[in-house]
Chains A and B, each alone.
Chain A
Amino acid sequence: AQSVTQLDSQVPVFEEAPVELRCNYSSSVPPYLFWYVQYPNQGLQLLLKYTSAATLVKGINGFEAEFNKSQTSFHLRKPSVHISDTAEYFCAVTEGTGFQKLVFGTGTRLLVSP
């Protein structure tokens, strides 16, 4: 079964600083990978997805992620964060022969302070 590891439960950062949120997955077969953002008391919004095309994926709100097959990683980056980026970020990977289910990491809380 797939598993997703987000080692950092919380990442504090100052506004306009760069940030990297780490994600590692377990499968030897490259699955589809996603990053979602969850603002307080809201549902999940898709930031970006990797579907075996380019290894560098650009998403919304200035985020990007790089797929690294040898390290089984899909880290999320942003060169300059805003206060409004404060939220919970979840990495997810597909599982199942038809890729129906998403397996989520435990999430990383990004705290951006002025």
Chain B
Amino acid sequence: NAGVMQNPRHLVRRRGQEARLRCSPMKGHSHVYWYRQLPEEGLKFMVYLQKENIIDESGMPKERFSAEFPKEGPSILRIQQVVRGDSAAYFCASSASTQGYEQYFGPGTRLTVT
């Protein structure tokens, strides 16, 4: 059973460009979470999605960031007009359900904004 897949693993963008991060959950998992890890910090929750629905986006910056989890295909985290402060590792996790079910993490996408 393949784990959570994320691509690309590394992404370099110039200021003002768009960044698209993809996440394929584990087989059978319909819950997807995105977290951001800034240098020397822990992970911070961004958004929780189920298929075609955003359930909780309380951790998402109000502007430039969006996420989706379509019926078919991977979940996408999109960052428009990136700035240097967006440089971080972005992790996707998936779970089979909530209520304490563990979240399985992907290897992350390391975004560098130059």
Contacts and interface: CB of A to CB of B under 8 A. Distances in A.
Contact of A36 (B55, B56, B98, B105): B105
**Chain A interface, >50% SS class:** strand
A67 to B, nearest CB: 13
Contacts, number: 63
Nearest to A34: B102
Contact size range, B: 20 to 34
Contact size range, A: 20 to 34
Interface of A: 4, 32, 34, 36, 41-46, 49, 51, 90, 92, 94-96, 98-107
Given A49-B100, A90-B42, A98-B98, 20 more contacts: A32-B100, A36-B105, A42-B108, A43-B91, A43-B105, A43-B107, A44-B43, A45-B105, A46-B102, A49-B102, A90-B43, A100-B33, A100-B98, A102-B33, A102-B93, A104-B42, A104-B43, A104-B44, A106-B41, A107-B41
